[in-house]
Amino acid sequence: MSSIAADFGIDKSLDILGISKENNGTSTGNNSFGSGDFIASHSPVDGALIGKVSTTTQQDYEKVISTAVEAFSVWRNIPAPQRGEIVRQFNDELRRLKEPLGKLVSYEMGKSYQEGLGEVQEMIDICDFAVGLSRQLHGLTMHSERPGHRMYEQYHPLGVVGIISAFNFPVAVWSWNTALAWVCGDVCIWKGSEKTPLTSLACQYIAASVFAKNKLPEGISCLVTGDYKVGEMMTRDERIPLISATGSTRMGKTVASTVASRLGKSLLELGGNNAIIVTPNADIKNTVIGAVFGAVGTCGQRCTSTRRLIIHESVYDKVKNALVEAYGQLRIGNPLDESNHVGPLIDKDAVNKYLEALKKVEEEGGNILVEGGVLEGKGYESGCYVKPAIAEAENHYSIVQHETFAPVLYLLKYSGDLDNAIKLQNNVKQGLSSAIMTNNLREAERFLSAEGSDCGIANVNIGTSGAEIGGAFGGEKETGGGRESGSDAWKVYMRRQTNTINYTTELPLAQGIKFDL
């Protein structure tokens, strides 16, 4: 274990979470196994090996899916409030293990310790939401046109839910899905990112212990580990009616077409190319705070990260100069040191894509305001630390139209009225998160209207990142159209059924049709 890991207590955290140097990455509960090759997890913080996890083979997968299907036959018949009680117990364990799990998230993914703790808090929050939801899985009653009839609709569990999550939020996004799916009566098979396998394993251990304590069958919470080939096993499997997938647009299109070919359901959370519009009526101080955090938080590796800043020409220079000054104050380094603002990218492949983006924007005619580059020397031995960069660009540049998962912020200038800025914002293929900075009520309402932002998330006077559990999370266009977390997102994990009951001695037909025998 490296000196950074030792100082931060990673060994102790792994022990508390039950993780060893070599682990089985396939689990149907307390039964952990896996006969595939091992994948190694190295921390982007210092490059040190944290542990190894075995991958899931086809044979392993068949055992997982059969166990999950069997568990569903039991779990769906347990009353929803009782399922909520199990989620409450899982939540209690998350509260108890928040510190060690948050440390592991930070060290394995590379985000700051505060963000690691914040991600576990998101898990806690969605469990709170799900527990309350377990008593509110309501349908509607309708008046029938036929006398002596009653109509209503109800929701039933869907079945096995497949969850494919990404490295940047290695535990929170899984919990958004699984906490709701569990109270809805579904069982879950989770393929976490192969870049952060140990955090997935830790969550599975926690969940499995709760189900075992309550003498519930294995298979309510299952884990599979590996690359896209394991994901393909899930997306092609007709025994999984719903696949929830988080990742790139390219990945999402593959998942969507595969699942659709078997008439399954997809919940997709894909790429974002998020913009903040800065009008002449903006509070510049708050604009800079929101833009900087949105662009460099998690080293630009959030799907809601701010990629574009669309600034009115009258305040363009003022905002630009304030941003350049703010970037000069950023501290880049070990994210476990809370005095640092920016940690590493996830791996060297991400670094290469970051460098390619900077090269591309210059080739297309952009002007680099704050230079990027890879940091070297003491403290940067992993090779994953880069400088957050700012470039003046045009919205039509191909690189600006593309989502680069790195801390590169593009400044775009607009003139005229707000509609011109909205057109720029909407003129990308992605539609996840958006924001406007203005103290003008009419501008704010215009931005939120049907003619305004075309994104699933639209904010006023806050940045593009930082969603709350209570609202549905997701986006439009090539972001996939999925919704997770709050509001009525729970409905995607259930099947809707309309019921009509005739309590008379007659059988009248609808629409007044006569059929006398």
- pLDDT of 47 reads 97
- Torsion angle, CA of 367/370/372/377, rounded to 10 degrees? 150
The whole-number average pLDDT for the span 98-123 is 97
What is the spatial distance between Cα 170 and Cα 119, in angstroms, rounded to a whole number? 9
- pLDDT of 469 reads 94
- pLDDT of 512 reads 80
The whole-number average pLDDT for the span 507-516 is 82
The whole-number average pLDDT for the span 126-154 is 96
pLDDT at 515 over 90: no
Q: If pLDDT is split at 50, 70 and 90, which confidence band does 458 have?
A: very high
Pairwise pLDDT comparison (365 vs 517), residue with the higher score = 365
- pLDDT of 446 reads 98
The whole-number average pLDDT for the span 303-318 is 98
- pLDDT of 467 reads 84
Single out the catalytic residue among 122, 218, 269, 403.
269
Report residue 315 CA to chain centroid gap: 34
pLDDT digits (tens, 9 = 90+) for 391-413: 999 999 999 999 999 999 999 99
pLDDT at 429 over 90: yes
pLDDT at 305 over 90: yes
In the chain, the percentage of residues whose pLDDT exceeds 70 is: 100
pLDDT at 384 over 90: yes
pLDDT at 437 over 90: yes
- pLDDT of 1 reads 64
What is the spatial distance between Cα 450 and Cα 439, in angstroms, rounded to a whole number? 20
pLDDT at 517 over 90: no
The whole-number average pLDDT for the span 241-270 is 98
Q: If pLDDT is split at 50, 70 and 90, which confidence band does 133 have?
A: very high
- pLDDT of 334 reads 96
Pairing of strands 49-54, 38-42: antiparallel
- Beta-bridged to residue 27, according to DSSP, are 32, 223
Single out the catalytic residue among 127, 222, 303, 455.
303
pLDDT at 516 over 80: no
- Beta-bridged to residue 268, according to DSSP, are 245
> Would residue 506 show up in a list of annotated catalytic residues for this protein?
no
Q: If pLDDT is split at 50, 70 and 90, which confidence band does 231 have?
A: very high
pLDDT at 276 over 90: yes
Q: What is the pTM of this model?
A: 0.96
The mean of the pLDDT values for the chain is 97
Q: If pLDDT is split at 50, 70 and 90, which confidence band does 432 have?
A: very high
pLDDT at 345 over 70: yes
The whole-number average pLDDT for the span 81-91 is 98
The whole-number average pLDDT for the span 379-392 is 97
Q: If pLDDT is split at 50, 70 and 90, which confidence band does 82 have?
A: very high
DSSP count for the chain of H helices, then E strands:
16, 24
Instruction: For residue 86, give the nearest of 156, 185, 174 by alpha carbon.
Output: 185
What is the spatial distance between Cα 277 and Cα 312, in angstroms, rounded to a whole number? 8
pLDDT at 510 over 90: no
Please report how many Cα atoms fall inside a 13 Å half-sphere around the Cα of residue 204, on the Cβ side: 33
pLDDT at 503 over 90: yes
The whole-number average pLDDT for the span 258-270 is 98
For 114-183, give the DSSP string: HHHHHHHHHHHHHHHHHHHHTT-----EEE-SSTTEEEEEEEEE--EEEEE--SSSTTHHHHHHHHHHHH
> Would residue 269 show up in a list of annotated catalytic residues for this protein?
yes
Backbone angles phi, psi at 33, to 5 degrees: -155, -175
In the chain, the percentage of residues whose pLDDT exceeds 90 is: 97
Q: If pLDDT is split at 50, 70 and 90, which confidence band does 513 have?
A: confident
